[in-house]
Amino acid sequence: GDSVTQMEGPVTLSEEAFLTINCTYTATGYPSLFWYVQYPGEGLQLLLKATKADDKGSNKGFEATYRKETTSFHLEKGSVQVSDSAVYFCALIAGGTSYGKLTFGQGTILTVHP
Amino acid sequence: GAGVSQSPSNKVTEKGKDVELRCDPISGHTALYWYRQSLGQGLEFLIYFQGNSAPDKSGLPSDRFSAERTGGSVSTLTIQRTQQEDSAVYLCASSLGLQGPQHFGDGTRLSIL
C-alpha cells in the first residue's frame, strides 16, 4: 500500500540554522506530494505541494523538490525562525485516484530556539 | 465562516456512550474528508464525501463508526458505544472538487474515560 516515511524527530535548531526534514514515499503510479504544517493550537495547513517529478514546491521560504528517482520530497529552509516551530507532515495522494485521500507520514516536531 | 468549522472542539465522554462530531465545510466546497489523529496511529483517512455520497468508507475503523452529509454541506461523524481506543483528534477537511487543496478544521479532541 501507499506509505510515507519521515525522519524521526524531534528536531531542535537555533534561529537562522538550516533545516532539512527528510521524507520518502512508496506509492503506485505518480503521486502528488505535499507538506502540511500544524502550529501549536492550530489546524493543519498546506505548506507546499508538487504534482509531478522534478517540480519544486515553495512557500514562506520552505522548499521541496519531487524526486521520482529517489522517491523523496525533502523539506528545506535556509534560515529558520522561532515562528517556524511546529509539527510538519509529509503526505501524498496516490496517482490515478479520483479523489484526494491523503496518506500522511508520522510528523516531525520542529523546535527553534532564539 | 471563512474556514472549516468543527464542533465541539473538545468532548469527554464515558466508555459505551454514543458521540456525534460535526463539520461545517467552507461554503461551496463539494468534497469533504474525515481524518483521525492519534498518538499510536498518526493521521489516518476515515471517509470522504462528494456531495452527499460517500463512495469510499474503507477507512472507517469499525461498524461503530458512521458518517453522513446532508444538503451537500454539514457532515456528522457518529461513533456508537465508544471505546477508549477511540480517543483521538478527529479532523475534517473540505476542498473545491475532489482534486483541490484540502482545508482543515481545528479538529474535535475526543477523550473516552
For residue A67, give how far its alpha carbon lies from the nearest alpha carbon of chain B (Å): 21
CB spacing of B100 vs A45 below 8 angstroms: no
Q: Which of B48, B102, B103 best tests the A interface by mutation, with the highest count of A CBs <10 A? A: B102
Residues in chain A: 114
Give the confidence band of B100 by pLDDT, cuts at 50, 70, 90: confident
Per residue in B16-44, pLDDT tens? 999 999 999 999 999 999 999 998 778 99
CB spacing of A102 vs B56 below 8 angstroms: no
Query: Measured between CB atoms, which of A44, A46, A102 is closest to B45?
Result: A102
Q: How many other CB atoms are there within 10 angstroms of residue A31's CB atom?
A: 26
Q: Please name which of A50, A43, A93 lies closest in space to residue B103, comparing C-alpha atoms.
A: A43
> Contact B21/B73 with Cβ under 8 angstroms?
no
Minimum Cα–Cα distance from A101: chain B residue: B45
For A33, the 3-state DSSP assignment is strand
Minimum Cα–Cα distance from B55: chain A residue: A99
Per residue in A8-62, pLDDT tens? 889 999 999 999 999 999 997 889 999 999 999 888 999 999 999 999 999 999 9
